[in-house]
Chains A and B, each alone.
Chain A
Amino acid sequence: MKNWLTQHVRALLLTLRRLLTTPLSSLLSILVIGIALSLPAGMYVLLQNVQSLAQQMTGTPQISVFLNMGSSQEDTARIGKKLQQHESIGRIEFVPRERALQQLKKTSGLADVIGGLTQNPLPDAYIVYPKKNDAQTLEKLRDELQKWPKLEHVQLDSAWAHKLEALLDFGRLVVLILAALLGFALIAITFNTIRLQILTRRDEIEVSHLIGATNAFIRRPFLYSGVLQGLLGGATAWLIITVSLHLLNRSLAGLTQLYASSFTLHAPSPGDILTLLLFSAYLGWLGAWLSVGQHLWRVEPGK
């Protein structure tokens, strides 16, 4: 066990030393990986922000229930009670037709036109706030309410939420495709750097084989190198995103002030950062592993 640990610590130190002996080329590959990763990761962070912004703006979605014109007060009260007792409805609000008309006068700027009406064209209505806010529950509730008697119309204010959701789905797909493509790029970059490392260390590999090194011993520093390069690339991507967000937030501050809102872009969560680092380290390992499998046996003596 101690032996095993010694071997690994030694391989890691060796890798670090090698990384530092070629600082410029190491830095360049790390930077390339970082930039490649920061694209999908940055887009992902922006999407997260748009999503949380959308949730803020829609608030809790609501269903408007319009009663039949001329329904009696008892009917209205009965329906109100029934709604209140419904298991998936949290809270309801009654909007009498008079108040609805007044609101319309105030907000729409059609006071003159409305003033000319001889009678109120608006029905009594309830605004229903469901307990759960996901699209499925809302639609199910709307469909159910539509079947109730004495109701003129049930309207769910989720159409634009749907559109936004579809747009976000599209964005997520773009991020996924970008991540996949640039993930391959990361593997290719690591593959190539490890290939070059193997070629420049030919003599060492050959001698090590001849004096009894196992394949694992020879592979180890190269695999560590791939992991380390991926990990540092991931950290670079994180740095790029953090700095970009900082800059964006500064210019956003001016913009949101004009709109009297206080929207700022949030940094990725620790979980997201960890995922990014693990993902990039894994891809680095994979690239190194493929490269070692492809190139190491050519250096082996007696083959």
Chain B
Amino acid sequence: MPLMITFNQVCKRYPGGYEALKNVSFEIAAGEMVFLTGHSGAGKSTLLNMIAAIEHPNSGSVFVNGQNIATLKGGALPYLRRNLGLIFQNHKLLFDRSVFDNVVLPLQICGFDQRECTTRARAALDKVGLLAREKANPIALSGGEQQRLCIARAIVNRPSILLADEPTGNLDADYAHDIMDIFKSFHQVGVTLLIATHDEDSLRQYATRTLTLKHGELQ
């Protein structure tokens, strides 16, 4: 299997001297589902942010789909991100528009025509079980529903890599279970997943491979 994500001796130091990542190296092959775990502040979010080029390493290199993020030209960055589905801890939903419009945004950015947009957005909403709420405002959704909406927006583009930061963070066990099932179904169709979580239940039930961070170092 070709490599999807490669970290090569990556270090990240924040101004003020705090070291978030120390010499982190790992590889994730295409189609793998990998869990990233560790205590709060262990560097999980920093690591995910580096894959999406939201943050950059002080030393070492990050390769995504064979491309070195550091040498990526500014104009190529959006096209890298279109190949990533990002699921954020704080959802980052837009509350000035409907559930449907939130999901359709990535498609509009890619320039799909209206009909294609509608079909795909409906399919994504159906996948996460929110099709009945498409006209609602995201603010009216429960925490679990908001998380699923965030997932729908991440997958509507059919990305080959999904990155999820604490997707089950504030959810009770049933909701968490639903979401993990959704991820599992993506894994089954060949999507590469990297899921940061410290939810012991999910790890026990679903983890095939786990990366553990401790004070910025991979165990």
Q: Is the CB of A211 within 8 A of B108?
A: no
What string of 1s and 0s marks CB contacts (under 8 Å) between B49-81 and chain A? 100111110000000000000000011001111
- A210 to B84 CA separation, bound complex (whole angstroms): 9
- CB within 8 Å of A: which of B67-125? 74-75, 78-84, 86, 92, 94, 96, 105-106, 108-111, 113-114
Cβ-based interface call for B153 (8 A) = yes
Q: Is the CB of B92 within 8 A of A213?
A: no
Give me 16 A-to-B residue pairs in the complex whose CB atoms sit less than 8 angstroms apart, sorted by A's number. Answer: A2-B113, A4-B111, A6-B111, A203-B92, A206-B92, A207-B92, A209-B81, A210-B54, A212-B78, A212-B79, A212-B80, A212-B82, A213-B109, A217-B78, A217-B109, A302-B55
Which residues of chain A are near B109, meaning CB under 8 Å?
208, 211-214, 217
Task: Indicate which residue in B54, B75, B111, B157 contacts A7 across the interface (CB closer than 8 Å).
Answer: B111
B1 to chain A, nearest CB (A): 25
Q: Is the CB of A3 within 8 A of B92?
A: no
- A302 to B86 CA separation, bound complex (whole angstroms): 15
- A213 to B86 CA separation, bound complex (whole angstroms): 13
What string of 1s and 0s marks CB contacts (under 8 Å) between B144-158 and chain A? 000000000100010
- CB within 8 Å of B: which of A205-238? 206-215, 217
B55 to chain A, nearest CB (A): 6
Which residues of chain A are near B153, meaning CB under 8 Å?
211
Which residues of chain A are near B82, meaning CB under 8 Å?
211-212
A261 to chain B, nearest CB (A): 61
B94 to chain A, nearest CB (A): 6
Q: Is the CB of A212 within 8 A of B81?
A: yes
B118 to chain A, nearest CB (A): 14
Q: Is the CB of B108 within 8 A of A10?
A: yes
- 4 extra interchain contacts, Cβ-Cβ under 8 A, other than A211-B106, A212-B109, A212-B157? A207-B92, A207-B94, A212-B81, A214-B78
Q: Is the CB of B111 within 8 A of A211?
A: no
A200 to chain B, nearest CB (A): 9
A contacts, CB < 8 Å to B: 2-4, 6-7, 10, 203-204, 206-215, 217, 301-302
Which residues of chain B are near A2, meaning CB under 8 Å?
113
- A3 to B83 CA separation, bound complex (whole angstroms): 19
**Residue of A whose beta carbon sits closest to that of B54:** A302
Which residues of chain B are near A302, meaning CB under 8 Å?
49, 53-56
A218 to chain B, nearest CB (A): 9
Which residues of chain B are near A206, meaning CB under 8 Å?
92
B2 to chain A, nearest CB (A): 22
- A6 to B115 CA separation, bound complex (whole angstroms): 12
- CB within 8 Å of A: which of B145-184? 153, 157
Shortest 4 CB-CB contacts between residues of A and residues of B: A212-B82, A212-B81, A302-B54, A3-B111
Q: Is the CB of B94 within 8 A of A204?
A: yes
What string of 1s and 0s marks CB contacts (under 8 Å) between B32-57 and chain A? 00000000000000000100111110
Most B-side CB within 10 Å, residue of A2, A3, A208, A212:
A212
B14 to chain A, nearest CB (A): 14
Which residues of chain B are near A6, meaning CB under 8 Å?
111, 113-114
- A2 to B157 CA separation, bound complex (whole angstroms): 20
Which residues of chain A are near B52, meaning CB under 8 Å?
210
- A301 to B88 CA separation, bound complex (whole angstroms): 13
**Residue of B whose beta carbon sits closest to that of A14:** B108
B12 to chain A, nearest CB (A): 13
**Residue of A whose beta carbon sits closest to that of B86:** A210
Which residues of chain B are near A217, meaning CB under 8 Å?
78, 109
- A141 to B109 CA separation, bound complex (whole angstroms): 70
**Residue of A whose beta carbon sits closest to that of B93:** A207
Q: Is the CB of B96 within 8 A of A204?
A: yes
Q: Is the CB of B54 within 8 A of A301?
A: yes
A303 to chain B, nearest CB (A): 10
- A213 to B157 CA separation, bound complex (whole angstroms): 12
Q: Is the CB of A212 within 8 A of B92?
A: no
Q: Is the CB of A212 within 8 A of B54?
A: no
B8 to chain A, nearest CB (A): 20
A16 to chain B, nearest CB (A): 16
- A213 to B106 CA separation, bound complex (whole angstroms): 8
A2 to chain B, nearest CB (A): 8
Which residues of chain A are near B92, meaning CB under 8 Å?
203, 206-207, 210
Task: Indicate which residue in B79, B84, B105, B157 contacts A208 across the interface (CB closer than 8 Å).
Answer: B105
